[in-house]
Amino acid sequence: MQIKGVLIVDLYLSIYLYTYLPTYLPTYLPTYLPVYLSIHLLIEVLRFFANGIPPFKDTSLLIQEQQFDGVPVKIYQPKKPAVTKRKALLFFHGGAGTYGNVAQRLSTLFRRRTDQQQNASIRSTNAGVLLAFCAMTVARKRPNADKYHTDASCVTVCGDSCGANFATKICQLLVDRTDVPKIQAQILIYPGLQGMDFYLPSYQQNKDIPLLWRKLVVYWTCRFLNKSTSVVNDVLEGRHVPEDIRTKYQKWVCADLIPEEFKVRGYKPQDPALRTFKPKVYEEMKQVLEVTFSPLFAENSVISKLPQACILTCEFDVLRDDGLLYKRRLEENGVPVTWFHAKKSIHGLAILFENQDVHATIALILENLDPY
């Protein structure tokens, strides 16, 4: 309890430094200093929470740590012999590619819920790996499902935050594969799905709400892609987006597509003069405008082939509207969607705060998945 107390103080201290301290700094000190310190402090706090204190081991489970093509994986299976082959859940954890690991609490909480309600094998993988490795892990290991006594036709791909981005793109990459069974379902927990528009209503309304405020999204994107963080402000204003790309994707990523009920807490369209295009910023950050980073940009021919989906969004989360826009795209293309909206929650609720309602909802969805 004492450690948690200290960390909570540190968390609020980092938020205070970021928000208020610049106004009190002497003019001869760089104004970015408190922001720099607060971001690094917050990263360490979040890294501790995400890595966390491992839950007590369940003696009824067989837990294995393995490597799939070099990717660290933790596998949870009931020790009790299965009468039939088990459903499988492949979970990619979040953490912006900068923190978190396969021992993260979310996977074990899912395991506790699902193992009680169904025969399930859950695999948690490292979100810091390349997307290609993620796709290889899914495609190559599913034909060897007999080793884990799982049904290759009943595999669900799941992820939270950037892990949900990975899960989304993996589903898209595999839709036309004929050498492996199709993925049965995708579960996307507060996903981040596009790198073009940071003026959506959720980004404006929740720009200063922890644990993921607006500036941190781009900051961590730069860190993950090994890009200079000097472009953060330009990217936030949209100066990395050529007009032809903006025009092409506005049909899928635009505040006009967000239901009015999600604008009542405030929304103001961006002044076009603020997003003057900067070619150098585009060259530095053009990767965020590719479909591999922004799966919201996938063509309808891909979206229409995707498996049934469960999407969880949080009201007080900058990524909320990414989830809403993807929900809309899936539904418009005839993909069944189960949507769960946490009206009083912030980003990270499923991991950091062990939200039992969320876990129960997803476990129920897994249990009742329609045969594919």
Interhelix angle 131-141/162-173, rounded to 10 degrees, is 60
Residue 347, amino acid: H
Contact in structure between 190 and 161 (CB atoms under 8 Å): yes
Q: Could you give the C-alpha distances from 146 to 85, 156, 370, in angstroms and in order?
A: 8, 16, 22
Q: Could you give the C-alpha distances from 108 to 63, 74, 81, 240, in angstroms and in order?
A: 10, 10, 20, 39
Q: Tell me the C-alpha distance between 306 and 302, whole Å.
A: 7
Q: Which of 160, 197, 234, 317 is catalytic?
A: 317
Tell which phi-psi region holds residue 77, choosing left (phi > 0), alpha (psi between -120 and 50) or beta: beta
Q: Could you give the C-alpha distances from 338 to 26, 168, 185, 301, 323, in angstroms and in order?
A: 52, 15, 11, 21, 12
Place of tokens 């917050």: 42
Q: Is 317 a catalytic residue?
A: yes
Contact in structure between 156 and 286 (CB atoms under 8 Å): no
Q: Which H helix or E strand runs over 332?
A: helix 320-332
Q: Which of 197, 348, 339, 346 is nearest to 275 (CA)?
A: 197
Q: What is the DSSP letter of 239?
A: T
Q: Tell me the C-alpha distance between 203 and 207, whole Å.
A: 5
The three-state (H, E, C) secondary structure of 244-292, written as one string:
HHHHHHCCCCCHHHCCHHHCCCCCCCCCHHHHCCCHHHHHHHHHHHCCC
N-to-C CA span, the chain: 46
Bond prior to 90 in cis (omega within 30° of 0) = no
Q: Which of 14, 161, 202, 345 is catalytic?
A: 161
Q: Which of 14, 197, 322, 347 is catalytic?
A: 347
Active site residues: 161, 317, 347
